[in-house]
Amino acid sequence: MADITSRAYSYLGDAVFELCVREYLVLECGISDVQELNDRAKEYVSASSQAELMPLISPLLTEDEDKVFRHARNKGHTPVSKNINAKQYRVATGLEALFGYLYAEQRFDRIKELFAVITKERSER
């Protein structure tokens, strides 16, 4: 790991995860209606959604990936929204940090691999 903080990985990962969602909805799902795109994106990018998605990929994480996730999750950030609890917020922060870490390490195939698991599992529900 480079000299990047968990918060910085989370910040970067927020954008990376959002881009994955947008690419998926537009390019793979073929959605072009902006309202529908926004509605569907919320199923992935809200902190409560991310907290629900993390268990789908956590069994697949390498030791280093899990370490990044746990470190960010355990930082004890306080949620700013009243719609989620602190545990959900921390898990979402960990997921974002994981995607930020993978991006910083230029592990783009791994990002796609993990995101594909998320979308596959989500579509089967």
User: What's the token pair of residue 33?
Assistant: 């209606």
94's CB contacts (< 8 A; 6+ apart) are 10, 54, 68, 69, 70, 72, 73
Which of 3, 14, 33, 109 does the annotation list as catalytic? 14
37's CB contacts (< 8 A; 6+ apart) are 22, 25, 26, 31
Query: Do residues 101 and 17 lie in contact, with contact meaning Cβ atoms separated by under 8 Å?
Result: no
Instruction: Count helices and strands (H / E) in the chain.
Output: 6, 0
Q: Is 14 a catalytic residue?
A: yes
Active-site amino acid positions: 14
